[in-house]
Amino acid sequence: MTKLDRVGPDQRSPLGSPGHTSDLAIFELFESEVRTYCRSFPDVFERAQGSWLETVDGRRILDLLSGAGSLNYGHNNPAIMAAVFAHLRQGGIVHSLDLHTVEKGRFIEAFARFILKPRGLHHKLQFPGPTGTNAVEASFKIARRKTGRQTIAAFHRGFHGMTLGALAATTNVRSRSFAGVPLDHVEFWPYDGDDQQPVGSVQAIADRLETCRDEDKPAAAILEVVQGEGGLRGVSPEWLQALSALLRSHGVLLIVDDIQAGCGRMGKFFSFEQAEIVPDIVLLSKSLSGFGTPFSLVLLAPDLDVWEPGAHNGTFRGNNLAFVGARAALESYWQDDRFASRVRATAEYLDERLAVIGSLASGLELRGRGLMRGIEFPSGETAGRVSAELYRGGIMAETCGPQSRTLKLLPALNIATGDLTRACDALEQIIRRIS
């Protein structure tokens, strides 16, 4: 008898019809070995609301994974979903390539009014394919075409995606090993606080740029203000200001990858706002749609719009449901500073709790900022054990960084204080027990 036979005669479809099954056999039999998150959190999920997931067995899980940062406003946010449902009920367009549609126009108007203009930004909007890695690929093409140079500079421990161009700018050795071809035209620079450097990292970059010919300089440098997969290390505003000025003086474009750290997670819409810089290119995705639907955006300074029609395209660059959700999110949360202030207050509370938790055992280091936080443990084994114990207690939090040593906390930005307290209490109890 095979695993599929054991699913039962009335449950031959993946989740059973009629009824559902919590048996994982169907996934093990037919889904590729490439799957990851489901190995750490081996349940079948059926419903979600706000910061909570529910399994087919009725078990409720407090979600501190948030779709790897793609659910900043929580699952099935009522204000956002109401707009999406209304669009579908009236027969609104869902797919449109890059045709002009009412909903695209409404999104552009809202984004310009609530995001760009209040921040003095004049960037143009490019809608590439719906994934973050597609936005990264587009930005590299723009930089190379604008400057005539081929190399992209990336930073130690950075992560920018799994397609070949983005993967070339990603340092994770295991991820790179699956490319199957050389990953070139990228050089790696030291990140802020990189202890591998004998001198300050910006000075090391300056030394590199000042000792080479203009044609040998990179076309652009791509940076995460907080490294989402690299262990939640972040740069200081002063470091970012110095880097931005240095790159501008050498004609090297600055690309800020705000795919995970943007859309409010730092307590401002963009992660770089505290440094008061203006990147040449900004990349957004993940939580941009507001409800987890794939959607990405390249913001580029007007003089960088060197594209010809169709030079970077994609069938799914006109997702009108994403436009609807994103506009609803902007109108609900970003018309003024009230939501951002709430995020900052929640982050302050989390800072206080983590400061106590981090003092409970030796070798713990706090990482990240805003509501993109983590605790780095001495080993990946310990971090994994904490993640597993949290999950057994009904809380989902992943690990990241070198050797997966960092427990990563990505709560919804509008998480209830009681829910965040519950998570911190559980984390504190686990660390007290294992230390």
Asked which of 16-20, 68-72, 335-339 is least confident by mean pLDDT, the reply is: 16-20
Does residue 4 surpass a pLDDT of 80? no
pLDDT of residue 12: 44
Q: Model confidence over 266-278: pLDDT tens digits?
A: 999 999 999 999 9
Common-topology check for domains 39-69+337-434 and 80-333: no
> If you write DSSP's letter for every residue of 122-135 in order, what string do you get?
--EEE--SSSHHHH
Q: 187 pairs with which residues across the strands?
A: 153
Percent of the chain with pLDDT over 90: 91
Percent of the chain with pLDDT over 70: 94
Q: Model confidence over 315-329: pLDDT tens digits?
A: 999 799 999 999 999
CB neighbours (10 Å) of residue 302? 8
Those residues with Cβ within 8 angstroms of residue 73's Cβ, 6 or more apart along the chain or in another chain: 80, 287, 290, 291, 329, 332, 333, 412, 413, 414
Taking the C-alpha atoms of residue 47 and residue 54, their distance in angstroms, rounded to an integer, is 5
pTM: 0.93
The stretch 279-298 carries a mean pLDDT of 97
The structural architecture, per CATH, of the domain 39-69+337-434 is Alpha-Beta Complex (3.90)
Q: Model confidence over 131-152: pLDDT tens digits?
A: 999 999 999 999 999 999 999 9
Mean pLDDT, the chain, rounded, equals 93
Element (H, E) at 140: helix 132-147
pLDDT of residue 21: 56
pLDDT of residue 19: 46
Residues in the chain: 435
Top pLDDT among 3 and 51 is at 51
pLDDT of residue 196: 57
Q: Model confidence over 219-246: pLDDT tens digits?
A: 999 999 999 999 999 999 999 999 999 9
pLDDT of residue 23: 81
Top pLDDT among 173 and 344 is at 344
Q: 247 pairs with which residues across the strands?
A: none
Task: With CA atoms as reference, report the closest residue to 220 among 197, 186, 245, 191.
Answer: 186
Residue ranges per domain, the chain?
39-69+337-434, 80-333
Kindly tell me the sign of the dihedral angle through the C-alpha atoms of 61, 62, 67, 68. Answer: negative
pLDDT band at 6 (very low <50, low <70, confident <90, very high): very low
pLDDT band at 198 (very low <50, low <70, confident <90, very high): low
> If you write DSSP's letter for every residue of 35-92 in order, what string do you get?
--HHHHS---EEEEEBTEEEETT--EEEESSHHHHT-TT-BT-HHHHHHHHHHHHTT-
pLDDT of residue 97: 95
Asked which of 16-25, 72-81, 287-296 is least confident by mean pLDDT, the reply is: 16-25
The stretch 167-187 carries a mean pLDDT of 94
* Topology (CATH level 3) of domain 80-333: Aspartate Aminotransferase; domain 2 (3.40.640)
pLDDT band at 194 (very low <50, low <70, confident <90, very high): confident
Q: Model confidence over 7-42: pLDDT tens digits?
A: 444 444 444 444 455 689 999 999 999 999 999 999
Taking the C-alpha atoms of residue 359 and residue 361, their distance in angstroms, rounded to an integer, is 6
Q: In angstroms, how far is CA 232 from the centroid of its own chain?
A: 11
- Directed axis angle between helix 102-111 and helix 320-333, to 10°? 30
Taking the C-alpha atoms of residue 51 and residue 30, their distance in angstroms, rounded to an integer, is 30
Kindly tell me the sign of the dihedral angle through the C-alpha atoms of 171, 384, 133, 182. Answer: positive
Taking the C-alpha atoms of residue 108 and residue 253, their distance in angstroms, rounded to an integer, is 24
Does residue 3 surpass a pLDDT of 70? no
Helix, strand, or coil (residue 119) = helix
Which parts of 224-345 are beta strand (E)?
Answer: 253-257, 281-284, 297-300
Q: Model confidence over 104-126: pLDDT tens digits?
A: 999 999 999 999 999 999 999 99
Kindly tell me the sign of the dihedral angle through the C-alpha atoms of 205, 208, 211, 217. Answer: negative
